[in-house]
Chain A
Amino acid sequence: MKKLKIFYKYLFLLTFTVSSCIEETPNYYEFEGYGFETLDENGGTWKTILVSTPTQINIPQPEATSSAAYQGELNAVKQQMSGLTPSQTEAVNYWTNNPVLRWNEIALELAAKYNLIPGPNADGTYTLPNPANPVGPPSFPFAHPPYTSRMLAYLSVAQFDALVVAWHYKYQFNRPSPYLVDNSIKPAYSPSHLPSYPSDGAAIATVSKEILTVMFPLEAIYLEKKYQEHLASLVHAGINVPSDITAGNIIGTEVVKLAKQRASTDGMAKAQTPKPVSDSIANAAFERFGWKWQNMETPQRPVGLTPLFGKVKMWNVPTVEEVRPGPPPVPGSVEFEKDAAELRKFASHMTISQRRIANWWEDGLGSYTPPGHWNKFAKEAIVKAKLNPLRSARIFAYMNTAIMDAGVACWDTKYYYHYPRPIETIAGFKTILGTPNFPAYTSGHSTFSAAGAEVLAHFFPSDAAQFRAWAEEAAVSRLYGGIHYRFDAEVGIAQGKNVGAYAVNRAKNDGAQ
């Protein structure tokens, strides 16, 4: 019995040892506020996307730092900073001095939360999410890849424009940060000479909260809470006085109006078609090519995902036809059979490395989608390069417009060619990834990823090879997953690069180079 007690002692010891090597499971990217690599003093001159010129938006002339009004604000800041609760301090550390990244993360989290495909009703029909009744069921939105790409594009464009306008006024008024006016204020982040009026943080908070509330209407309360926490952190961190924040809010509000206006007329409302329209699209392809894609789920979904997303207004590409590739190989042709045989081979002899790649890039239902994955890469590259919020927003804006354009181009191609999936053309074929509810050619992962990689390669040339290699891996992952042919992936990569080049060309001419 004594031996047993020793044995149990060892077992408990083992428990503690094992417990101590538990990996962390953080809920956000852990980084600290950093000193900006550059301040981009001329950022107010950069070309905006929605705003025609910064002076289109007016903010009041700020009070001088010597004024009684400003001194009163300073005292209020000092008073608040002296009595921070632990949760307020935590909020200051969380938001950092580059809150573009946090709002981007919040957007990704909501994408993952809402990326759930509606299931069938008891009678075998499907109900689509309805923005007029967001509670549902099913709740609105279904944040699938096209939806998420568009959500991120509007968010990033609005953030970028708001910051260009903010920068314009920052360097027009040149009001220093509170801690430069009063050295008894110790800022929570690296000190910087970026003028504090209007607050860039407040501008970001306003556009982000508003755009995300439009995209995720059921999250209004959650977003308001984040917004208030963010605004409070700007004062608690000692980087803004309240009038900086008010001016930032004004800019944000005006930019949001322009973004909402564009979003309401960009064609997204018509992207998810009724069945007769969907059928006529399928039949047009069948008459043109002799094949058509079909949903293979039980019960069958009557309409594919957003058949008319290909008609949604693009950001950087004048017409979708100019980035539409030629047709895929005819099913049954030699070229087709070669690629189909390859899929059978992968499925029957899957290596661990192939399985990992398939899963690593799956970004499927319940995740932040491939656009989300590229936003995560961008975020990490931005922190590594210590970019300021304006330059960060610029990268997100070009990348996310490129990614959405890639989605539009890809969806145009998908429904133009209406090409069947491997589970339709290969008898008895089983896959390790779920087959999505839209045609195969071209691969969405490939086009999204190649477009994202091209833009990131432009902004981070020393990592260009890595980004492009990732895009290639994302593309081939769909072959390992059994849901795309090689030609879907290869042409998708070419299409994505092509689309991405439009964004890069635009970025080269926006005055920021």
Chain B
Amino acid sequence: MKKIMRFTAILAVCFGLSFTSYAQTPWDEVMMGRGEICAALIYEHSSWDQYWEGSYLRENANIGTFTRQTAMPMIAMGLTKKINLIASVPYINTKASGGTQAGQSGFQDLSLSVKVDWLQRQLGNGKLLFLTNAHFSTPVGNYLSDYMPFSLGTGAPELGFRGIGGYKMDNGLVFRASFAYLWRGQTEVERDYYYENGSVYSSFMNVPNALNFHGAIGYWAFDNRLRMEATFMSLNCLTGDDIRSYNRPQPTNKMEVSQVGAWVQYFIKSDQGLGALAYFNQTINGRNVGKATTIGLGLTYQLKVY
């Protein structure tokens, strides 16, 4: 198990926001061993035909079905047994089936993440776990954040700190909860006046900070080769405005999302080789985001370099 590495669900909710960017396992308990490197490529398809305008769930025929596809290369390595580094940069394409507005494509945000294993202690019939993850992400390229819902991301740097607690039972059951505070910076837009509950004379928008929760109940089968999880995720911006009536969203919006999902991953047992993963997520509630259904498929390749 210590040799394995897992990649996370990409949360392409929120009209496609930078939740995508801290993609690797910020919220799980899995670590890679020293000198191990894992490269992965994940394809994700996310779509919605309803979105929340504030708290009002609506359709918009001039968007129709909104689709966001992501191809995400990712690389992770075990610096030591207790410290893992992860980097990723997704390439995203957005389009709408209705209306006449052009979709976008390009690289979104480069994300760098440091995950630390602080505690593994036998307790009863299992192990008590505690880890932390710190990540930083920043836009690459010059995509325009102020072109929602088509924009590739919020266009702002993000710094996140996460605590991960878990209990892994000897029989393969895992219970896990992680909690993060996401500090978001500003995004530069291409106008110097905008409305956010009043006039703002600036070409910078404040992207609201957010709290992010992940919970999972998992089970390891076939001698720790197959991992299956039922997941729950929520993200709540702490400030921000609502999308106004029949108006477009903007990076200042107070986005909230709750989503349930499932995750299956096949791991290799040797030092080197291919693995695979698949996941599904359904948004069940939200605010100023699309009600997205997401599937992801990925291949992983692992090797040991030292």
Residues of chain A having any CB pair with chain B under 8 Å: 1, 4, 7-8, 11, 14-15, 18, 22-29, 105, 108-109, 112-113, 116-120, 137-138, 296-299, 347, 352, 355-356, 359-360, 362-363, 365-368, 372-373, 376, 423, 429-435, 482
List, in ascending order, chain A residues with CB within 8 A of B116's CB: 4
Complex CA–CA separation, A434 to B248 (angstroms): 10
Question: Least Cβ distance of A478 to chain B in Å?
Answer: 15
Interchain Cβ contacts under 8 Å between A and B, 29 examples:
A1-B82, A11-B159, A15-B159, A22-B185, A22-B206, A25-B202, A25-B205, A29-B201, A112-B195, A116-B245, A116-B247, A120-B61, A297-B99, A298-B64, A298-B98, A299-B61, A355-B144, A359-B144, A359-B189, A362-B191, A365-B247, A366-B194, A366-B195, A366-B244, A367-B191, A430-B101, A431-B100, A432-B147, A482-B102
Which residue of A has the minimal Cβ distance to B204? A23
> Nearest Cβ distance between residue B23 and chain A, in whole angstroms?
19
Q: Is B83 an interface residue (CB 8 A)?
A: yes
Determine if B213 is an interface residue (Cβ-Cβ < 8 Å).
no
Contact B201 A28, beta carbon cutoff 8 Å: yes
Q: Are B193 and A431 in contact (CB under 8 A)?
A: no
B102 touches A347 (CB 8 A): yes
**Are B204 and A298 neighbours in the complex by a CB distance under 8 Å?**
no
B171 at the interface (CB under 8 A from A): no
> Quick one: closest B residue to A117, CB to CB?
B246
B244 A116 Cβ-Cβ under 8 A: yes
The total of chain B residues at the interface (CB under 8 A) is 47
B183 located at the interface, meaning its Cβ lies under 8 Å from any Cβ of chain A in the complex: yes
Which of A4, A117, A363, A482 has the most C-beta atoms of chain B within 10 angstroms of its own C-beta? A4
- Once the chains bind, are B100 and A435 in contact (CB under 8 Å)? yes
**B205 contacts across to A, CB distance below 8 A:** 25
Say yes or no: A376 contacts B202, CB within 8 Å. no
Q: How far is the CA of A430 from the CA of B200 in the complex (A)?
A: 30
Closest 10 CB pairs of A and B: A119-B246, A359-B190, A298-B61, A430-B102, A23-B204, A112-B195, A25-B202, A109-B199, A423-B100, A356-B190
Residue B17 interfacial (CB < 8 Å)? no
CB atoms of B199 and A360 under 8 A apart: no
Flag if A367 contacts B134 (CB, 8 Å): no
Report chain B residues within 8 Å CB of A298. Answer: 61-62, 64, 98-99
CB-contact partner of A112 in B61, B183, B199, under 8 A: B199
Residues of A within 8 A of B136 (CB): 11, 14
| B36 sits at the interface (CB 8 A) | no
A296 to B61, CA, bound (A): 11
Q: Which of A105, A108, A112, A360 has the most CB of B within 10 A?
A: A112
- State whether the Cβ of B240 lies closer than 8 Å to any Cβ in chain A: no
A contact residues around B103 at 8 Å (CB): 430
Q: Which of B89-113 contact A (CB under 8 A)?
A: 98-103
Output the least CB separation between B296 and chain A (Å). Answer: 27
Q: Mark B201-221, 1 if CB is under 8 A from A, else 0.
A: 111111000000000000000
Question: A482 to chain B: which residues have CB within 8 Å?
Answer: 102
Let me know if B245 and A11 touch, CB within 8 A: no
In the bound complex, residues from chain B placing their C-beta under 8 Å from that of A4 are 83, 116
Whole-angstrom distance between the alpha carbons of A354 and B246 in the complex? Answer: 27
**Shortest Cβ distance from residue A318 to the other chain B in the assembled complex, whole angstroms:** 35
Closest to B150 in A: A432
- Extra A-B contacts (11), CB below 8 Å, given A366-B244, A373-B193: A22-B185, A27-B199, A116-B245, A119-B246, A138-B245, A296-B100, A359-B191, A366-B194, A366-B248, A367-B191, A368-B193
> Which residues of B lie under 8 Å from residue A7 when comparing CB positions?
114, 134
B157 at the interface (CB under 8 A from A): yes
Residues of B at the A interface (CB closer than 8 Å) are 60-62, 64, 82-83, 98-103, 114, 116, 134, 136, 142, 144, 146-147, 157, 159, 161, 183, 185-186, 189-195, 198-206, 244-248
Give the distance in Å from the alpha carbon of A437 to the alpha carbon of B111 in the complex: 41
Partner of B102, one of A28, A108, A352, A431: A431
A116-B246 in contact (CB<8A): yes
B98 contacts which chain A residues (CB < 8 A)? 298
Task: Give the tally of cross-chain contacts (CB within 8 A).
Answer: 122
A25 touches B199 (CB 8 A): no
Q: Which of A120, A359, A366, A367 has the most CB of B within 10 A?
A: A366
A372 / chain B contacts, CB cutoff of 8 Å: 193
Of all chain A residues, the one with the shortest Cβ separation from B159 is A15
Residues in A neighbouring B247, C-beta threshold 8 A = 116, 365-366
Cross-chain contact B159 with A18 (CB below 8 angstroms)? yes
Contacts of B190 in A (CB 8 A): 355-356, 359-360
| A38, B103: Cα distance in complex, Å | 53
Q: How far is the CB of A28 from chain B (nearest CB, A)?
A: 7
A425 to B: closest C-beta gap in Å = 12
Q: What is the minimal beta-carbon distance from B239 to any residue of chain A, in angstroms?
A: 12
Q: Whole-angstrom distance from the CB of A145 to the nearest CB of chain B? A: 15
- Bound form: Cα–Cα A443–B147 in Å: 23
Closest CB of chain B to A444's CB: distance in Å? 17
Contact A15 B183, CB 8 Å, known A112-B199, A355-B144, A359-B191: yes
Most B Cβ at <10 Å: residue of A116, A119, A347, A433: A119
Please indicate the chain B residues that have their CB under 8 angstroms from the CB of A367 in the complex: 191, 193-195
Q: How far is the CA of A125 from the CA of B58 in the complex (A)?
A: 16
Minimum C-beta distance from A219 to chain B (A): 12
Which chain B residue has the least Cβ–Cβ distance from A124? B61
B115 to chain A, nearest CB (A): 11
In whole Å, how far is A295's beta carbon from the nearest beta carbon of chain B? Answer: 11
Residue pair A432, B245 in contact (C-beta under 8 Å): no
Bound complex: CA of A205 vs CA of B98, how far in Å?
47
B141 to chain A, nearest CB (A): 10
Q: Smallest Cβ distance from B33 to chain A, in angstroms?
A: 17
Nearest opposing residue in chain B for A1, CB measure: B82
Please measure, in the bound complex, the distance between the C-alpha atom of A108 and the C-alpha atom of B198, giving whole angstroms. Answer: 10
Rounded to whole Å, the gap between the CB of A138 and the closest CB of chain B is: 7
With contacts A7-B114, A435-B100 known, is A105 near B200, CB below 8 A?
no
Chain A residues contacting B186 (CB-CB under 8 Å) are 22-23
By CB atoms of chain A within 10 A, which of B146, B191, B244 has the most? B191
Query: Shortest distance in angstroms between A477's beta carbon and chain B's nearest beta carbon?
Result: 11
Q: How far is the CB of A95 from chain B (nearest CB, A)?
A: 16
Please indicate the chain A residues that have their CB under 8 angstroms from the CB of B60 in the complex: 119
Chain B residue numbers with a CB within 8 Å of A296 are 100
Q: How far is the CA of A443 from the CA of B214 in the complex (A)?
A: 51
Contacts of A22 in B (CB 8 A): 185-186, 204, 206
Contact B147 A25 (CB under 8 A): no
A372 to B193, CA, bound (A): 10
Rounded to whole Å, the gap between the CB of B74 and the closest CB of chain A is 21
Cα–Cα, bound, A365→B194 (Å) = 11
B residues less than 8 Å from A362 (CB atoms): 191
**Nearest-Cβ distance from residue B118 to partner chain A, whole angstroms:** 8
**A25 and B206 contact, Cβ closer than 8 Å, known pairs A109-B198, A116-B244:** yes
- Residues of B within 8 Å of A118, CB to CB, are 245-246
